[in-house]
Structure 1
Amino acid sequence: MDKKEFRLLIKYCFLKGKNTVEAETWLDADFPDTSSGKSTIKDRYVKFRRGEMSTEVGERSGRPKEIVINENI
């Protein structure tokens, strides 16, 4: 299972009214092959409570994806 699918399952738990402990228990029981961390579930719940319902990963600041070299210019 990829990360986007896992984020969708966390969103499903949130919308069903489960708390983070219930969500973690359900995910561990029904999807044992996923590596669900408590912090991941809690972070997603915080974002959902703020109204950020997207399951996409936002852009981050830092190193660019492409390196600028003379061949690229």
Structure 2
Amino acid sequence: MQGLEDIAALPVVTPRLHEVGYSREGLEKVTSGNFLKLMRAAQAALERQACRSDAASAIPDRLRSAVRCST
């Protein structure tokens, strides 16, 4: 999804949803623990994939700084 390439984009999600009409109750549901768990899992999967030498070249330059390889 454009604009949500990694977990760093989360701070802009809530204000944008409010702008388009989500209620406070609706925003609380969207930003609940399950959503955050999903985004963290997606980030972790990106990092695992990116740390493989054959996959490293496929990482877009704009996302390289978000990937933390421990190998």
- Flag the structure with larger Rg: 1
If asked which structure has higher relative contact order (CA below 8 Å, sep 6+), I would say 1
TM-score calculated relative to the size of structure 2:
0.34
TM-score calculated relative to the size of structure 1:
0.34
